[in-house]
């Protein structure tokens, strides 16, 4: 199978694909961190609510 692309064109395509893959990996990392922080905030809120609303809490 013969291609009409030069070596430079192929290297440009590969470089662009690697860049897009790194951007996608960064987006996944940010999404995972955001979800972890959301989970932590939700459980912290539940814990504080239970702690402050307990009958033994000082008024």
In tens, the pLDDT along 3-57 reads 788 999 999 999 999 999 999 999 999 999 999 999 999 999 999 998 888 777 5
Residue partners of 13: CB distance under 8 A and separation at least 6: 5
Residue 59 scores a pLDDT above 60: no
Q: Would the pTM of this model clear 0.85, i.e. be above it? A: no
CA atoms within 13 A on the CB side of 3: 6
Residue whose structure tokens are 């009958």: 55
**Cα radius of gyration rounded to whole Å, the chain:** 25
């Amino acid at each position: 199978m013969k291609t009409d692309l030069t070596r430079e064109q192929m290297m440009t395509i590969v470089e662009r694909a690697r860049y897009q893959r790194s951007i996608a990996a960064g987006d996944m990392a940010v999404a995972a961190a955001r979800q972890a922080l959301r989970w932590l905030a939700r459980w912290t809120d539940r814990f504080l609510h239970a702690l402050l609303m307990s009958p033994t809490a000082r008024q």
